[in-house]
Amino acid sequence: MLKSPVSFCPVPDEQQPLNEYQQLKESWLFRWTLLPPLTYLRKLLWVWGFGGVITGPIAAASFPPLQTPLHFILAAGGGALGFVLLILLRLYLGWFYIRDRLSQEQVEYEESGWYDGQIWEKPAEVLTRDRLVVTYQVQPLLKRLRNSFLALLLLLLLGSLCWFIPE
């Protein structure tokens, strides 16, 4: 009886692209992208609120809240969006890396961790399986993150336009 080509895989378990995908999917931060839309948005709003706690005092030093409330709100809110941007960037780069690992025909790996890089050519059925995971699991997450970046950009543009409203 022949074993499936996956059983002959020389890549250590933790470096196999499908296992890396599973680990990322179960990690605390990267799991956010798998949440329902409102829960995902709520997480990003919490990050924005936390960022506001940090950027609020900085904005208050430049724009006293009682004298220029609009500029204070825009400066604090815009600065807090920087924290959201960093989180979204980290999420995007992690999922993008996994997408690349799953899509590639070859897997680069380290056997002993002593920079002895090896390459394993994926069999056709493993490559097909991995690419199906990319198409139906990873690509929708990347699309959600791109849409989040677009929404962030629109918020920044709207804030920039509001900056010129006279107080």
Q: State the pLDDT confidence band at 4, using cuts at 50, 70 and 90.
A: very low
Q: Which of 15, 54, 46 is nearest to 29 (CA)?
A: 46
Q: Is the pLDDT of residue 154 over 90?
A: yes
The structure tokens 């990267």 sit at: 30
Domain boundaries, the chain: 38-107+124-167
Interior CA angle at 147 toward 142 and 152, to 5°? 125
Record the pTM. 0.90
Write out pLDDT tens, residues 18-64.
999 999 999 999 999 999 999 999 999 999 999 999 999 999 999 99
Per-residue pLDDT, averaged over 115-122, amounts to 85
> Count of CB atoms within 10 A of residue 162's CB?
13
In degrees rounded to 5, what are phi and psi of residue 119? Answer: -130, 135
Q: Is the pLDDT of residue 148 over 70?
A: yes
Write out pLDDT tens, residues 89-98.
999 999 999 9
